[in-house]
Amino acid sequence: MVMLDSIEYWHIHYGNIFLWLEWIFTILFSIEYLLRLISLNKPVKYIFSFLGIIDLLSIIPSYLSVFYAGAQSLLVLRSLRLIRIFRIFKLTHFLSEMQFLSGAIKGSLRKISIFMLVVLTLVIILGSVMYLIENGQNGFESIPDSIYCAIVTITTVGYGDISPVTPSGKFVASIIMLLGYGIIAVPTGIITTEMTLALRAKKDKHETCPACGSEGHDNDARHCKYCGALL
Protein backbone atom coordinates (compact mmCIF):
# COMPACT_ATOMS: atom_id res chain seq x y z
CA MET A 1 0.00 0.00 0.00
CA VAL A 2 2.87 2.35 0.81
CA MET A 3 4.48 1.56 -2.53
CA LEU A 4 1.25 2.18 -4.44
CA ASP A 5 0.72 5.45 -2.58
CA SER A 6 4.13 6.65 -3.81
CA ILE A 7 2.78 6.58 -7.41
CA GLU A 8 1.28 10.00 -8.20
CA TYR A 9 -1.72 8.66 -10.14
CA TRP A 10 -2.72 6.24 -7.38
CA HIS A 11 -2.13 8.87 -4.71
CA ILE A 12 -4.41 11.40 -6.43
CA HIS A 13 -7.27 8.97 -7.12
CA TYR A 14 -7.06 6.64 -4.11
CA GLY A 15 -5.24 8.70 -1.50
CA ASN A 16 -8.20 8.73 0.92
CA ILE A 17 -8.59 4.94 0.70
CA PHE A 18 -4.90 4.51 1.40
CA LEU A 19 -5.23 6.79 4.42
CA TRP A 20 -8.09 4.75 5.87
CA LEU A 21 -6.25 1.50 5.24
CA GLU A 22 -3.16 2.97 6.84
CA TRP A 23 -4.98 3.64 10.09
CA ILE A 24 -6.68 0.22 10.03
CA PHE A 25 -3.29 -1.46 9.69
CA THR A 26 -1.79 0.80 12.35
CA ILE A 27 -4.53 -0.10 14.84
CA LEU A 28 -4.17 -3.82 14.11
CA PHE A 29 -0.38 -3.63 14.47
CA SER A 30 -0.77 -1.68 17.71
CA ILE A 31 -3.12 -4.29 19.16
CA GLU A 32 -0.74 -7.08 18.16
CA TYR A 33 2.21 -5.22 19.72
CA LEU A 34 0.34 -4.76 23.01
CA LEU A 35 -0.79 -8.39 23.05
CA ARG A 36 2.81 -9.52 22.58
CA LEU A 37 3.90 -7.41 25.55
CA ILE A 38 1.11 -8.87 27.68
CA SER A 39 1.73 -12.49 26.69
CA LEU A 40 5.49 -12.50 27.32
CA ASN A 41 6.96 -13.01 30.77
CA LYS A 42 9.82 -10.64 30.02
CA PRO A 43 8.42 -8.01 27.62
CA VAL A 44 11.42 -5.69 28.05
CA LYS A 45 13.64 -8.16 26.18
CA TYR A 46 11.17 -8.23 23.31
CA ILE A 47 10.89 -4.42 23.19
CA PHE A 48 14.63 -4.02 22.64
CA SER A 49 15.01 -7.05 20.34
CA PHE A 50 15.46 -6.63 16.59
CA LEU A 51 11.93 -7.77 15.71
CA GLY A 52 10.47 -5.77 18.60
CA ILE A 53 12.07 -2.59 17.28
CA ILE A 54 10.70 -3.35 13.80
CA ASP A 55 7.20 -3.71 15.27
CA LEU A 56 7.55 -0.40 17.08
CA LEU A 57 8.86 1.39 13.99
CA SER A 58 5.90 0.08 12.00
CA ILE A 59 3.31 1.86 14.17
CA ILE A 60 5.08 5.05 15.32
CA PRO A 61 5.02 6.98 11.96
CA SER A 62 1.22 7.03 11.73
CA TYR A 63 0.86 8.51 15.20
CA LEU A 64 3.65 11.02 14.55
CA SER A 65 1.86 12.21 11.39
CA VAL A 66 -0.97 13.50 13.59
CA PHE A 67 1.34 15.87 15.46
CA TYR A 68 4.12 16.59 12.97
CA ALA A 69 3.69 17.45 9.29
CA GLY A 70 5.82 15.28 7.03
CA ALA A 71 6.28 12.51 9.57
CA GLN A 72 4.10 10.27 7.42
CA SER A 73 7.02 9.89 5.04
CA LEU A 74 8.47 7.55 7.66
CA LEU A 75 5.78 5.02 6.72
CA VAL A 76 8.26 3.47 4.34
CA LEU A 77 9.80 1.90 7.45
CA ARG A 78 6.81 -0.42 7.54
CA SER A 79 8.36 -2.38 4.67
CA LEU A 80 10.75 -3.79 7.27
CA ARG A 81 7.76 -5.47 8.88
CA LEU A 82 7.68 -7.93 5.98
CA ILE A 83 10.36 -9.78 7.93
CA ARG A 84 7.60 -10.72 10.37
CA ILE A 85 6.01 -12.99 7.77
CA PHE A 86 8.44 -15.71 8.80
CA ARG A 87 6.92 -15.69 12.29
CA ILE A 88 3.31 -15.17 11.27
CA PHE A 89 3.28 -18.33 9.16
CA LYS A 90 5.78 -20.15 11.40
CA LEU A 91 8.05 -20.86 8.45
CA THR A 92 10.92 -21.73 10.76
CA HIS A 93 12.73 -23.66 8.04
CA PHE A 94 12.93 -20.45 5.99
CA LEU A 95 14.18 -18.55 9.04
CA SER A 96 16.83 -21.15 9.73
CA GLU A 97 18.00 -20.95 6.11
CA MET A 98 18.31 -17.18 6.50
CA GLN A 99 20.46 -17.70 9.58
CA PHE A 100 22.47 -20.32 7.69
CA LEU A 101 23.14 -17.91 4.81
CA SER A 102 23.95 -15.09 7.23
CA GLY A 103 26.46 -17.30 9.03
CA ALA A 104 28.13 -18.24 5.75
CA ILE A 105 28.48 -14.57 4.77
CA LYS A 106 29.90 -13.66 8.17
CA GLY A 107 32.40 -16.52 7.93
CA SER A 108 33.66 -15.31 4.56
CA LEU A 109 33.58 -11.59 5.42
CA ARG A 110 37.30 -11.31 6.15
CA LYS A 111 38.33 -13.06 2.94
CA ILE A 112 35.93 -10.98 0.86
CA SER A 113 37.15 -7.78 2.55
CA ILE A 114 40.76 -8.55 1.61
CA PHE A 115 39.65 -9.45 -1.92
CA MET A 116 37.71 -6.19 -2.30
CA LEU A 117 40.77 -4.26 -1.11
CA VAL A 118 42.80 -5.90 -3.88
CA VAL A 119 40.08 -5.05 -6.41
CA LEU A 120 39.98 -1.44 -5.19
CA THR A 121 43.74 -1.15 -5.62
CA LEU A 122 43.46 -2.68 -9.07
CA VAL A 123 40.78 -0.28 -10.33
CA ILE A 124 42.74 2.71 -8.99
CA ILE A 125 45.80 1.60 -10.98
CA LEU A 126 43.81 0.76 -14.12
CA GLY A 127 41.80 3.98 -13.88
CA SER A 128 44.99 6.01 -13.62
CA VAL A 129 46.43 4.20 -16.63
CA MET A 130 43.28 4.94 -18.63
CA TYR A 131 43.54 8.61 -17.66
CA LEU A 132 47.12 8.76 -18.96
CA ILE A 133 46.33 6.88 -22.16
CA GLU A 134 43.28 8.98 -23.06
CA ASN A 135 45.19 12.14 -22.11
CA GLY A 136 42.32 13.56 -20.07
CA GLN A 137 39.89 13.52 -23.00
CA ASN A 138 36.87 11.50 -24.21
CA GLY A 139 35.25 11.66 -20.77
CA PHE A 140 38.43 10.75 -18.87
CA GLU A 141 38.77 14.29 -17.56
CA SER A 142 40.12 13.26 -14.14
CA ILE A 143 41.48 10.21 -12.37
CA PRO A 144 38.24 9.73 -10.33
CA ASP A 145 36.24 9.71 -13.60
CA SER A 146 38.67 7.17 -15.02
CA ILE A 147 38.40 5.01 -11.88
CA TYR A 148 34.62 5.13 -12.23
CA CYS A 149 34.94 3.89 -15.81
CA ALA A 150 37.26 1.10 -14.66
CA ILE A 151 34.74 0.00 -12.00
CA VAL A 152 31.88 0.03 -14.52
CA THR A 153 33.99 -2.00 -16.94
CA ILE A 154 35.40 -4.52 -14.45
CA THR A 155 31.93 -5.27 -13.09
CA THR A 156 30.69 -5.80 -16.68
CA VAL A 157 27.93 -3.22 -16.10
CA GLY A 158 28.90 -1.08 -19.08
CA TYR A 159 26.79 2.08 -18.82
CA GLY A 160 28.52 3.49 -21.87
CA ASP A 161 28.64 7.08 -20.59
CA ILE A 162 32.45 6.97 -20.65
CA SER A 163 34.31 4.81 -23.13
CA PRO A 164 37.85 4.83 -24.54
CA VAL A 165 38.49 6.02 -28.09
CA THR A 166 42.19 5.46 -28.62
CA PRO A 167 43.44 1.99 -29.63
CA SER A 168 45.59 1.78 -26.48
CA GLY A 169 42.62 2.70 -24.32
CA LYS A 170 40.46 0.04 -25.97
CA PHE A 171 43.20 -2.53 -25.38
CA VAL A 172 43.38 -1.71 -21.67
CA ALA A 173 39.58 -1.73 -21.47
CA SER A 174 39.57 -5.20 -23.02
CA ILE A 175 41.96 -6.42 -20.34
CA ILE A 176 39.73 -4.92 -17.66
CA MET A 177 36.71 -6.72 -19.13
CA LEU A 178 38.48 -10.07 -19.08
CA LEU A 179 39.61 -9.47 -15.50
CA GLY A 180 36.03 -8.69 -14.58
CA TYR A 181 34.81 -12.20 -15.38
CA GLY A 182 37.44 -13.74 -13.14
CA ILE A 183 36.87 -11.24 -10.34
CA ILE A 184 33.12 -11.89 -10.22
CA ALA A 185 33.74 -15.64 -9.70
CA VAL A 186 36.06 -15.23 -6.69
CA PRO A 187 33.59 -13.98 -4.02
CA THR A 188 31.04 -16.52 -5.25
CA GLY A 189 33.55 -19.30 -4.65
CA ILE A 190 34.45 -17.97 -1.21
CA ILE A 191 30.82 -17.81 -0.04
CA THR A 192 30.05 -21.22 -1.58
CA THR A 193 32.93 -22.77 0.35
CA GLU A 194 31.72 -21.25 3.61
CA MET A 195 28.17 -22.47 2.91
CA THR A 196 29.48 -25.98 2.33
CA LEU A 197 31.38 -25.95 5.61
CA ALA A 198 28.39 -24.50 7.46
CA LEU A 199 26.09 -27.11 5.95
CA ARG A 200 28.22 -29.92 7.35
CA ALA A 201 28.10 -28.45 10.86
CA LYS A 202 24.47 -27.40 10.64
CA LYS A 203 22.06 -28.55 13.34
CA ASP A 204 18.31 -28.29 13.30
CA LYS A 205 17.21 -25.57 15.67
CA HIS A 206 13.69 -24.72 16.75
CA GLU A 207 11.52 -23.70 19.67
CA THR A 208 10.40 -20.17 20.48
CA CYS A 209 11.00 -18.90 24.01
CA PRO A 210 7.71 -17.95 25.73
CA ALA A 211 9.51 -15.36 27.84
CA CYS A 212 11.61 -13.29 25.43
CA GLY A 213 10.40 -14.57 22.05
CA SER A 214 13.88 -15.68 20.91
CA GLU A 215 14.28 -18.54 18.44
CA GLY A 216 17.06 -20.83 17.27
CA HIS A 217 17.33 -23.30 20.19
CA ASP A 218 18.61 -26.85 19.85
CA ASN A 219 16.20 -29.75 19.61
CA ASP A 220 17.10 -31.04 23.07
CA ALA A 221 17.21 -27.61 24.75
CA ARG A 222 15.14 -27.23 27.91
CA HIS A 223 16.00 -23.63 28.75
CA CYS A 224 16.32 -20.50 26.64
CA LYS A 225 19.96 -19.72 25.88
CA TYR A 226 19.22 -15.99 25.96
CA CYS A 227 17.17 -15.47 29.12
CA GLY A 228 17.23 -18.88 30.82
CA ALA A 229 13.46 -19.37 30.85
CA LEU A 230 12.01 -22.88 30.69
CA LEU A 231 11.03 -23.88 27.14
107-200: CATH class: mainly alpha
* pLDDT higher at 52 or 95: 52
2-89: CATH class: mainly alpha
Query: Which tens digits make up the pLDDT trace of 122-144?
Result: 999 999 999 999 888 888 888 99
Query: Which tens digits make up the pLDDT trace of 18-57?
Result: 889 888 988 988 998 899 899 988 888 888 887 788 778 7
Share of the chain above pLDDT 90, in %: 12
* pLDDT reported for residue 34: 92
> Which residues, at least 6 apart from 95, have a Cβ–Cβ distance to it below 8 Å?
86, 87, 215
CA-to-CA separations, 139 to 68, 130, 133, 221, in angstroms, rounded? 46, 11, 12, 63
Q: What is the mean pLDDT of residues 202-215?
A: 66
Mean pLDDT of the chain: 79
* pLDDT reported for residue 91: 52
CB contact at 8 A, 43 and 56:
no
CB contact at 8 A, 108 and 193:
yes
pTM higher than 0.75, yes or no? no
Cα separation, 81 vs 30, whole angstroms: 13
Domain coordinates of the chain in residue numbers? 2-89, 107-200
Cα separation, 220 vs 198, whole angstroms: 20
Q: What is the mean pLDDT of residues 195-218?
A: 68
